[in-house]
Structures are given as C-alpha cells and as structure tokens.
Structure 1
Amino acid sequence: MGSGASAEAKSSGSEMMGDKLHKTAAGEEVTMEAAMEGKKVIGFYFSAHWCPPCRGFTPVLAEAYTKSLKDKGMEIIFCSSDRDEASFKEYFGEMPWLALPFSDRKRKEALSRKFKVSGIPTLVLVNAEDGTLITEDGRTKVMKDPEGANFPWIPKTFKEALGEKFTKGSATVGKEAIEGKTLGLYFSAHWCGPCRAFTPKLAKWYSDIKKELGDKFEIVFCSSDHSEISQMEYYKSHCDAGGDWLALPFDKKDDLDEIYKVNGIPTFIIVDAEGNVVNSNGRGIVGAPASQFPWKPPAIGSLEDPEGINDTPSMCLMLESCEPAVQERILKAVEPIAEKLRDSKEMIFFASKDPSSVSTQIRAMCGLESVTQVDKKGRTVEEERPSSVSSSRGPPKILRTMSSDTPTLILLDCPDNGAFYVGKMAKELDGSGVQAMIDGWKGKTLTRQQLSK
C-alpha cells in the first residue's frame, strides 16, 4: 500500500473510530495508527453482554480471531451496546481484540448509522487499506470460514459471480448467453411453497414476453435447493411450464446472494448487463407488457408499497387532501426531480393519494394528524368498500375531505437513526418546494426530528 493510500486509510479510520482505542478492559490505550499497522481487514463488532446471541457468537469469533484471523491481518473493534461502563468492562474482558471507548457514545452511534446496524450481534468488515465495505454480514463469513481460507473475503464482481457456464434446458452454454442482456435473477427453491406457486406465473410471463423481446432479456435461475439433484429436478419443472431460461451452476448461487443481499425466496431482481439493479421488486412486474421493458420502477412510487423506505432516504408526498387533477399536476412537476435522485440512488419518492393504513401510520409516527374521508352526510368513513349487496344505486360514494392548504411533505431518513423532516409544497405546486426541502436536507439546514417508536 502506497503512502497516499495509507494516509487516506488512516484518515478514514480516525473518522470512524477516533484517535484512541482501548486495548484492554483495564483501559490501556493504543493509537489508531498502531491499530491499523499491517492490517488487511477491520471488523466492527456490535455486541452486548445482555444479548444471548452475542454471548453465543463472541467465543466463536474469539477462537477464530486468535487461531487464524489475527495472523492473517484482521483486527476487530468492539462497539459496545451495553447499558453501562461496568457491563462493558466485564464483557470486554472476555475479548482478545480492541474496543471503542465506552464513553464515546456519539462515535458508536455514528458507526451504527453508517453501517445501518439494526440488530446485534453484527460484525461489519471493512478493507483496512481504503476503508471500503467488504460485507455487513461478517458473522456469516466467520461461521462458514473460521480459519480464513478465503480471507479477506473481498466480494466477487457481478461477472465473477455469474461465471461463464450455464444450463439451458439439457445443454450447457457459455457467457455469450447473457452478454449485453438485461437479466432477471430468480432466486428460488423447490422446497419453498411460495416459490412453487410463483414459478408457473413467471414461466408464462417469460414465454409471452420473449416472443417480443427476443435476445434483449433473459432469466437466470439461482437455486436455493439443498442439492444439485433437487435443483435440476426443479429446473426441469420450470422448462416444462415454459420457463426454459438459464440456470446457474449449483455452487455459484451464494456469491450472487451476497451481492444482492437476498434474504428470502422467491426473489426476482431485474439487472442490466453490468449487474446494476434496475428493479429490486421484479415479482411486482410479472404480468407487465414487453412494451414497458426494462420495467424500471416509477420515479414516484405508491406509499401503499414503500419498497426500500427503511434503507434509503425517502420523500413522501402526502396528497390525500388534494383532488385527483391536482395530484396529477403535482406528480408531473415533481417527477423529473424524483428521476434524477432515483438514478443517483440518493433518495426515493413515494406519493400517498388516498388515506391508508401506511399513510396514517407514517403521519402518526411523525406526530401529524391523519386525513379522513367522509360520506355525503359528513360521516367519517374508515375505508372505501364496494357494496356487498346488489343495488340499482350501486355502492355508496365516498368523498375526500379537501383542504385549502398546500400538501405536506415528509422526508424520512430511516438510515439516519430514524430521522424525519416536515415541509410543505410551494403554493405554485411546481416542485420548487420539494427541491428546496431536498437542498435544505443536503445542507443540513432543516430541523431534524426523531421518529416515535
């Protein structure tokens, strides 16, 4: 590592951990520079003595660290979630690595926000040379590879993870089968009931759209089956149903799981030829026509289906009190702003057009009043329902309670430890109020508020 890179890594490390770290529970200190000397990987270990899973994992991690990982170039920094310093010292006394001083609560909280730590134990692995993230799931890496045979566990690139050979029906094909194509990555398994129910729908849709799209699009089956025999039996059923797509070799799927953070199945993700995510909720587009290819999600999604709201700063347009024509005017004005931020992955946008359980919950969490609906007699109605009894008059018409105020804007920043900001559309309804709020958020001039639990 060159001197420039070394200085950059030390600066990055100091920002994350401070200049001093505890070396022993008694309080012996070590400098950041000394801690990083000769290291390849830094593991931030978020844990606490009161947490049973933590107490179960800590001895496993300690053994792996002492026997293999330390000598291979790994250092671990304990980031305590204990409730007091006495508990911290007692727990840290069982650990053979370093620790962030317990008194530095701000630094610990900043690290938790940076790595989006939502539970413990969590082991985040970072490249010591340049500060880049290796994985937020270091716990699995250690459990699967305690001796560090694959250390430093640098993630494979998209093309490395896919490899160069695929099954196509009963034949084997090369990487030319995917080159230049938009891909649908289908994570599924025969033992999964929801997968078996979804697969025939996916197969029919695939069969229909391939007639129009041809070589522009391909699906790759990424098996979560327990054996290669089970995978191939399940894959045959895909082909029989019309889904004669590609199948990844049985031993390759785990690498893609890590890249796309697949936590459950069935999962269907649309990616471009370079592996960049086009639509993380591919299941939602099954049935969409080929004319909508490559099925990018709308720039402004529905708040009824807030995909990604917990992981990405989100602008929520609360339009429940606006007439439909006004709603459409606002959405048209804001769409260019939303598209730009969506493509840069800085922020996602949602709109709430009608009162719903989701919009009501978000308003309540932000301390705002809910918007209600009333019938012709002025009675509040919880939800709009079609009449269950046949009538020549048809179902009762539900009217929206209108407001002369400009619509409310809620900027949720859940990754920032549940922060939120409240604003208003500009009276012109031209998107300028939205842009001003975004500029204020970036410039840290907005009043930060905390979501209620």
Structure 2
Amino acid sequence: MEKKWWERLFGKKLIRCDTVNNSNGFELIPVNEVLQNTNIIGIYFSFANINLQSDEVIRKLRDLYDRLKNESCSEGKKLEVIQVVMWAHNDNYGDFESSHRESLQGLPWFAMPYSEIVLKTRLSRRYRIKSGVPTLVLLDREGATISISAQERLIEDPSGTSFPWRPRPVDEVLKDVVLQPGGTYFSDHKNYTEDTQYRDLPPSIRGFYFSANWCPPCRAFTPQLTEAYHMIKKKDPGFEIIFVSSDRSAESYRAYTETMPWLTIPFQQTAVRAELAELYGIRGIPTLLLLDNNGHIITRNARTELADDPLAQNFPWKPKPVNILTDRFLSSLHDYPAIVLFVDGEDTEVQFAETVLAPIAENYYKTHNISLSCASEGYFLDSEDDSFLQFFVGIDNELSDILRDLIGLDDVIPLLVALDLPNTRYAIMEYGLEITNGTVEDFVTKLQKNELNYVNMSDERVEAICNFFF
C-alpha cells in the first residue's frame, strides 16, 4: 500500500474532530484518505490537563489552518493537522477519555484516537516532546521532518508568510557570526584570528555543545568534555566544538566560558542561538551533537557516547549495525522488534557476537533501504517493510539479567532471541543449534517470513516489562 509510513506513525484511522460530541460519538477516517493529497503534515502535541500555553498556539494554528485550507498547490492541499493529545504528570482529570473528547470538540482537523496509547508514546519519544509544552511538528509528504518546534515560528509568523518555515542550514545560520574564543582557547590555537567565522574552520568533524552555567549536569559534564576535547584534538587537529549558550545573563555566560578551550556563539547573538537549538531539535541540556564534513548529523547523543567511551577511542561514534544492549536502547527495544544475542561479558565473546550479527544486520539494512544514520535517530520511514529490525548483543550484566527474567528467558548463553516487545512475544533459536552466520541468517529470514515459533507473553509479564521501561 502506498505511503505505509502514515500508518506506522498514526495508525490506520483518525478521528475527524468536528464530529466529536459529548455522547462519545465521532467519525473515524482512514489515515490514507486523510493524507493522500497533503503537502505538509502538522502533528500538534497538546496536553489535556495543561492549557496555559496551548490556548494561544491552538488559536493561531486554527487561524492558519483555515487560511490555508482553501489554498491549493500543484500537488494537493497545503496543510493537514493531526492532533495528539497527551497528559502531563499532574492530573486534573478523573476521566482521561472524557477529557480527550473535550480537547477535540469543534476543531477543524483530525486526531489520533484515545486508544492509540502505544503509538502516541512512540511519537512523543520520536520527536522528543517535553511534558506540558504544546509542540507543532511539521513533516513533508514523504514523512521527512521539516521542524520539530514549529509552534515558535507559528507565534512569530501567525499569518504563515514563510510557511512551512523550513530551517536554514547551519552554514547559513552562522554566515555572518564572528565566533568568540573560550577562556583557554588560545593555549591550543596559536594561530587564532579575531574574525574567525564558521566557514573558516578546517574541514573536519564539528561539535555543537548546548549547555548553560545554571544547569548542574552541564557544569558536571563540561570538565569531562574538556578532557575529551584535548584527547580528540591530538588525533584530529581539525576537530572543533562550538558552545551554544542557554545562560540567562551575559555575566553567567562569561563565567562559564572562562575555562572553555573551544569557540562560542557570542551571547548577544540570541536569535542565532535560538535558531541553532530549533534546527537541531534541542529539547534539553547538556546536549553534544556532532556533524560530519558535509554538515550531516553523525550523532545527537555524543554526551552518552562519551560516557560509555571516556577515552574517545571510538570517536566520532558513527552509527553501528550492531550495538551492545545498554539502558539507552531500552526505548527503541520497546518500539521495534530486535534480534538479541545474549553472551558472556568476556571480550572474546562480545567480539564473536558482533562478528556473527554484523553481516546479517548490514545486509538487512541494505535490503530494506535503511541508512544507519536514520536508524540511530529512530527514523525508519524509508524501510520497505512495516517492521524495523534492530540487532543487539546482550552481555552478561544486571540489565540483561533483569530483562531475561521479565521476559521469561532461560538463563543460558549463548542464546539468540527474536524479541518482539511491540507485539508482546518472543522466539528462541533452537537449542543445541550452533550459532554461526548461516544459522543466524536463517533465523532472521524465518522472522521476516513470519515462520518463527513465537511465545506470547502473559499479561503479567507485559505489565512488568512496561513498568521496567517506564
């Protein structure tokens, strides 16, 4: 079916909001029918029990929607909106489903049904939605992200003069910005000139460090990043970091940058700093992201990568087809099926597991037209199949022990498992069968053909697993 990604994101049917009434009545429309002739798709994340900011955003969004509704383009309607009603942690409602209906009544667009809780949770993680903050995400007709915080542009440009507010590339954002040196920058950069701009930096990997002096985790991470910066510079002299401040005063900014050995965006460049945060969808600090020579994102999670690799031996932490199963992959494990090979924690066993899994994983991604960079971000819309498959090595540690116990897996190693948590089931490779490239490939082939003997998990186990993940 054409446009399978629509159903992967939103489910098969959407509520037509102008049909919602107090007696629990509403009309459901197939998602393909709603979106088949749409150029721009807006996902509006609202919060049913927090209305302080939502009122202004929804009013301006409704005005824009009505204005664009009758505007046609060569390929169909300009904008369609799908509302995703979420709940913040503080609960003012006793009946969630009733408040869901109240949130949608009288609106001119569509919404995901209340029952699509799992899909809505995936969407909120995918676009890094902050609890209580109304957010407008814009996608193009192929599902590619245009903006993950368009509500800010909507407030600035309510008439939609520049709609859909496509972000400028980083070199355009920084075109006229003179970068400032951190307090210890000169010790490593003897040839610094006072008018250094982004385009003057040598062609190499560049890091953008979003941080602030008022943020305790930021102050704790900055010394670690400083050490890593010096180590990386020895291996890659062209590497540079640019600090993007979230400080609330110039004094705080100056105090924080006194010990920084890299370049910074001047504090007075408020609009530039805000545009960079919007461009890269920064939802929290500290955040360190890395770009390659062409300005493409290598990783948004360089902070986590550095925590796992403090000597930066694997810098620049490019996406891998097979990953060690750690806490940071738990969310994706809950969202998509995975092949997990549980082994002893010895280096030789881990190397064996990666050697066995890697060629099968690489072939899978190639066959299904999935780039590793997209996979690392959780963006699988180019996949030809409805199910994205991940590949992990589960080493013998506390996390693996807890996960195996919750699922009900035998305590044996090595153990190859097809773990399909989204569908609450799992399948194990036949005991006694040697784990080789050939047997693993055969196992994955059977998974794709739906020929594995799955075991369905009990409701008690599913509840325990959900509590573990969330």
Q: Return the offset for 1:15.
A: 9.1
SS at 1:252's partner residue? helix
Instruction: Report which stretch shifted further, 73-82 or 259-268.
Output: 73-82
The aligned amino acid for 2:286 is: P
CA distance in 2, matches of 1:168, 1:101: 46
SS at 1:184's partner residue? strand
- Which residue matches 1:361? 402
Instruction: Report which stretch shifted further, 203-212 or 132-141.
Output: 132-141
SS at 1:262's partner residue? coil
Q: Return the offset for 1:52.
A: 0.9
SS at 1:261's partner residue? coil
Alignment of 1:94-243 (within 5 A): 95-100=106-111, 125-127=137-139, 131-137=143-149, 142=154, 148=160, 151-163=163-175, 165-169=177-181, 171-178=194-201, 180-215=203-238, 217-228=239-250, 230-238=252-260, 243=261
CA distance in 2, matches of 1:349, 1:179: 36
Residues 1:324 and 1:187: Cα distance change in structure 2 (over 3 Å) = closer
Residues 1:78 and 1:185: Cα distance change in structure 2 (over 3 Å) = closer
CA distance in 1, matches of 2:64, 2:262: 45
Alignment of 1:187-336 (within 5 A): 187-215=210-238, 217-228=239-250, 230-238=252-260, 243-247=261-265, 249-283=269-303, 284-285=305-306, 292-296=314-318, 300-303=322-325, 305-311=326-332, 313=336, 314-320=338-344, 325-336=348-359
Residues 1:227 and 1:172: Cα distance change in structure 2 (over 3 Å) = farther
Q: Return the offset for 1:218.
A: 1.4
1:431 pairs with 433, 437, 443, which one? Answer: 437
CA distance in 2, matches of 1:331, 1:244: 36
- Which residue matches 2:76? none
- Which residue matches 2:379? none
- Which residue matches 1:42? 41
Q: Deviations over 1:103-141 (max 9, x none)?
A: 9x67x9767756757878865534465554334555555
2:61 pairs with 59, 62, 65, which one? Answer: 65
Residues 1:88 and 1:319: Cα distance change in structure 2 (over 3 Å) = same
CA distance in 1, matches of 2:96, 2:301: 42
CA distance in 2, matches of 1:410, 1:318: 11
Partners of 1:162 and 1:256 within 8 A in 2: no
Partners of 1:22 and 1:29 within 8 A in 2: no
Residues 1:115 and 1:193: Cα distance change in structure 2 (over 3 Å) = closer
Partners of 2:321 and 2:372 within 8 A in 1: no
Q: Return the offset for 1:355.
A: 3.3
Residues 1:444 and 1:89: Cα distance change in structure 2 (over 3 Å) = same
The aligned amino acid for 1:343 is: L
Residues 1:366 and 1:315: Cα distance change in structure 2 (over 3 Å) = same
Residues 1:37 and 1:327: Cα distance change in structure 2 (over 3 Å) = closer
Q: Deviations over 1:157-193 (max 9, x none)?
A: 3444454534142823223334531112211111122
The aligned amino acid for 1:196 is: R
Gaps of 5+ in 1: 1-7, 372-402
Q: Return the offset for 1:225.
A: 1.6
SS at 1:363's partner residue? helix
CA distance in 1, matches of 2:142, 2:320: 35
Q: Which has the larger radius of gyration?
A: 1
Gaps of 5+ in 2: 70-78, 88-94, 182-192, 366-370, 376-387
CA distance in 2, matches of 1:350, 1:30: 38
Instruction: Give TM-score scaled by structure 2 length.
Output: 0.65
Q: How many residues align?
A: 396
